[in-house]
């Protein structure tokens, strides 16, 4: 079973920016109820889209530098990176269908 991975400020470049596949990053915090609601959706997406994208989670409280670098002001924020560049951003979206529609337009 494919599951979302965890990354940190120190590993972000390697885990996300240098990844050989598009990577959807979940900027979240442990106390965030909306983020918690998104967790099972991301698990399902990792399983369904695992051959086309990688899903990575970054705790913004434990890793503030990366959150600041990408100007994450609200959580959950999902950012799709491809080739080291930000391709799309979804803020406070917790519906699987909405996420899949966006992914479908961006990921082959």
Active site residues: 32, 35
User: Where does 1-100 show beta strands of DSSP type E?
Assistant: 5-6, 23-28, 54-59, 77-82, 85-91
Q: Alpha carbon of 71 to those of 27, 30, 66, 96: distances in Å?
A: 11, 19, 8, 24
């Amino acid at each position: 079973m494919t599951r979302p991975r965890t990354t940190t400020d120190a590993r972000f470049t390697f885990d996300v920016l240098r990844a050989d596949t598009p990577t959807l990053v979940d900027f979240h915090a442990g106390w965030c109820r909306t983020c918690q609601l998104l967790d099972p959706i991301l698990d399902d997406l990792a399983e369904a889209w695992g051959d086309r994208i990688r899903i990575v989670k970054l705790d913004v409280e434990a890793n503030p530098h990366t959150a600041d670098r990408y100007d994450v002001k609200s959580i959950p924020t999902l950012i799709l990176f491809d080739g080291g560049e930000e391709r799309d951003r979804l803020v406070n979206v917790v519906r699987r269908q909405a996420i899949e529609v966006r992914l479908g337009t961006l990921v082959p």
